A and B are shown apart, each in its own frame.
Chain A
Amino acid sequence: MELARLVPLLLLFAWLLPLGSFAAIVFAGPRMGRGGHKAAYLATGAIGAALVLSLAALGAWLWHHPLAADSQAAAPLSGDWYTLAEFGKLRLAIGYYIDALTLGMFVMVTLISTCIHVYSIGYMHEELGEVTDPLVRGSDGGPLVRPGRFPRFFQYLSLFCFSMLGLCVAGNIAMVFVFWELVGICSYLLIGFYIERRSASTAANKAFIVNRVGDFGMIVGIMILLGGLGTFAFGDHLGAGGKVEPGIFSQVRPASAEHGLVVPDGLVRMAAADRLAAVYASMPSADAAEEEIARQIPQLRRAGYGYWLLILAGLGIFCGCVGKSAQFPLHVWLPDAMEGPTPVSALIHAATMVAAGVYLVGRFYPVFAPEVLLVIAVTGCITLFLAATIAIAATDIKRVLAYSTVSQLGYMMFSLGVGGWAAGLFHLFTHACFKALLFLCSGSVIHACHTNEMTEMGGLRKKMPWTAGTMLAGCLAISGAGIPLLIGLSGYHSKDAILAQAFSFARHAPAHGWLFYVAAAGAAITAFYMFRLWFMTFAGKPRVEHIYDHAHESPAVMIVPLVILAAFAIGAGWTLPVVNWGLPELLEQARPLGTAEGFPEARTIAGLVIPAEHYSHEPALHRIVSLAAFAAALVGFLIAVAFYGLRLLSAEAARRWFAPVHWLLVHKWFFDELYDAVFVKPALFLARQAAEIDRGVIDWAADGSARLCVLIARIDDWLDRWIVDRFVNGLARWTWRLGLALRPLQSGQLRQYVVMIAVSTVTIFILVSIYRNYALLP
């Protein structure tokens, strides 16, 4: 079968398998064995099969587009599986847009999800029977006892995978938006899995509501693109009559302009609507007006019409990604998402939810103007620094990892913003591997210790050698450990690429050079807090004796995924020599057309040049950055060793010296308090006022009218009972009495009737004779 048919077909099945598993568990979950334990096998089987299909699709793709050291962009496959509706030129379709990035995402998502599924079988086993939740008080005052929800967990996991895969394969923005929201609702369901815990339900609400803020911007962006370009589709597709309808990407970067960024006609028309209306009014016929407009459009475009709309569209799309990928103003939901079970945290942080935002920025890269990229870079930079600093002071093991995720996502956004398209997405892939690993390790620790507080752990390395070893690999990977200039763990390669691009950006646009230094400092902080975590958990002496005594290594079903993920965390960044198989080469194939040579100088911000990514590969530049990044990571590592490993310095003393800073970091830069004061409190205040109005005015009016109705009904009832009923009943009673009175006349005696007839006749005759003066009487 040819590639253009085979790959979409494989991905279609890979995508729909989790949906099938979801549907099966919805309908038959609790009946699948004792406690529904077979649901786990179904879900794991589905995602495992999806992994196999994704690998097959990737294999087929690579067979046709072999990787090389200087991979060229390969044309993406785009088309529709099913058209839902058609309104004129606008099509709502279930479509696909498949390039190497899509395939990479499929393999990554299914691989990590498979590991997490397997791990969950072990981690969630308590849900098989009745669960006693010590954190919730039941109706009898003791801990809450509830039935287990094992199948439901896997049902949500399947839906989550389905949504994420749908998002990756989506061929148009409408579909992206649908799956975007599905991912959101899945995260909501899973974060709130322990729904009885107030903190969990609040965290779920928070995640959902904060994401809505971002989605609002995304809808604005989608509307601008739809209004200006008249299509949802990413790629070109055959329209009615065999004409090729250009998709979003080829409208913004048309082949006629050598894939340079061009404001599409539609956006120019939208921006200059007033002028064009005047042209229409002045021209004799519509055709002539169209001709005149077509003549004027290049002129208007040069004058800058539509450019702001393009920026706004880009910012809108990015706004959605800010919410989903937990970037700076909207990052507050991700740490709270720790309330879900740990495998869910791993899934959200590594493969699905937060990856979606970075993926979408990567996907929409051709549409972004340089100004938008600067916003992305600055947002990412602020995020990475803020989150890294907060992670220093956190003591909850999952919270440290959560802030580290926020920080790493900031790196990815930052990289995309400074022009490192491949570097940013490369980091997305490597980060997925080691962050899933770190979370599952922390889950293993929590499983053993039944606490999240690192201050109660310590010395666990002897009790849990596998967990400690794999987690060390994860820590080394995220810190970017390696032998400089030669080889390293996965994080070393991706972070190097990001910093190199940042350095190249700082050279080309010196006004924004500070971003590089912040990112480098972030690398040092990353190494510091990750090793702080590892040392506090696994090294030293046990801090709380009974927790240490109780701790035990996790079962094999949880350890095997850790080992697999550790292997990927170590090796995902490598490029195999000779065959040149590696993630950077794969991503290079997917690079959007026209972005390889960087971006021209921005129209509105002087001196903003986004350099091409290949500058960052120059050996001279790369060497400096590699050494700088390594030095930064080493500094962070050494500080962590000094404080927590060898205890040469006292963390207590440091905390006292920097008390105000520590106070600021422990309170997470007061974002929650700020949002609480600025948004939540006023919203609650408004709600309370509205409730008062509801109770005081509307309820009063409603109750009053109800009471009035009752009164009128009473009067009506009285009238009915005492007037109408009496009249009708009286009539009936009189009729009855009359009947009774006449009854004796009907004796049934024939002879009596005869006499009566005769007498009556004669009587009538006599009467008539008297009154009519008839002849009977003289």
Chain B
Amino acid sequence: MPLLNQPVSLSHYLVVGAILFACGILCMATKRNAIGVLMGVELVLNGAAVNFVAFSAPFLRGDAELALGLDGHLMTLFVIVLAAAEAAVALAIALCYYNTHATIDVDEGDELRG
């Protein structure tokens, strides 16, 4: 594994982000519990956020004159805020879902089946 022999660089962060993202997708695809799905969503968001942060960190990129921009950080902050809002809405949905279905198993909610 060549990555493990090298100092920490952008690629490492990207790998971590990709793992997080993949874990999130896996979680969303496998969990039947709505809360679990939500957690998967958080993982996906955070995986993306890690990527943003990694890309915008100047020392990780190695080209200092291009690295002054804070756009990646901003996007990350935006993602975090979005995630918080999303969590609130999603939990409300989960509660409603429970009210109507008496369970939070997402497989039960197939009213929109074609």
Contacts and interface: CB of A to CB of B under 8 A. Distances in A.
A242 interface: no
Given A750-B37, A758-B29, A743 B107 contact: no
B28 A747 contact: no
B30 A748 contact: no
A751 B113 contact: no
Contacts of B110: 747-749
Contact of A748 (B29, B31, B113): B113
Contact of A755 (B29, B31, B112, B113): B29
Given A750-B37, A755-B29, A745 B107 contact: no
A747 B114 CA distance: 6
Contact of B113 (A742, A747, A758): A747
A751 B29 contact: yes
Contacts of B112: 746, 748
B28 A754 contact: yes
B111 interface: yes
B26 to A, nearest CB: 9
A740 to B, nearest CB: 9
Contacts of A744: 114
Interface in A707-748: 742-748
Contacts of A747: 110, 113-114
B57 interface: no
A268 to B, nearest CB: 102
Contact of B37 (A746, A748, A751, A755): A751
Interface residues of B, number: 16
Interface string A574-607: 0000000000000000000000000000000000
A742 B25 CA distance: 24
Contacts, number: 40
B114 A745 contact: yes
A748 B106 CA distance: 9
A755 B31 CA distance: 12
Nearest to B107: A749
A743 B114 CA distance: 5
A535 B102 CA distance: 123
Contacts of B109: 748, 750
Given A758-B25, A758-B29, A751 B106 contact: yes
A209 to B, nearest CB: 84
A743 B110 CA distance: 13
B32 interface: yes
Contacts of B37: 750-751, 754
Interface in B87-114: 106-107, 109-114
Interface in A254-278: none
A745 B37 CA distance: 21
Most-contacted residue by chain B among A749, A751, A755 (CB, 10 A): A751
Most-contacted residue by chain B among A744, A746, A758 (CB, 10 A): A758
Interface in B51-76: none
A758 B109 CA distance: 21
A754 B37 CA distance: 10
Contacts of A748: 109-114
Given A746-B112, A747-B114, A748-B112, A754 B29 contact: yes
Interface string B16-31: 0000000001001111
A749 B110 CA distance: 6
Nearest to B106: A750
A523 B106 CA distance: 127
A751 B30 contact: yes
Nearest to A747: B113
Contacts of B107: 749-751
Contact of B25 (A746, A749, A750, A754): A754
A754 B25 CA distance: 7
Contact of B28 (A742, A743, A746, A751): A751
Contacts of A742: 114
B36 to A, nearest CB: 10
Contacts of B114: 742-748
Nearest to B30: A751
A746 to B, nearest CB: 3
A747 B113 CA distance: 4
A746 B111 CA distance: 10
Contacts of A746: 112-114
Given A748-B111, A751-B107, A754-B29, 19 more contacts: A745-B114, A746-B112, A746-B113, A747-B110, A747-B113, A748-B110, A748-B112, A748-B114, A749-B106, A749-B107, A749-B110, A749-B113, A750-B107, A750-B109, A751-B28, A751-B32, A755-B29, A758-B25, A758-B29
Interface of A: 742-751, 754-755, 758
19 contacts: A746-B114, A747-B113, A748-B110, A748-B111, A748-B114, A749-B106, A749-B110, A749-B113, A750-B37, A750-B107, A750-B109, A751-B29, A751-B30, A751-B32, A751-B37, A751-B107, A754-B40, A755-B29, A758-B25
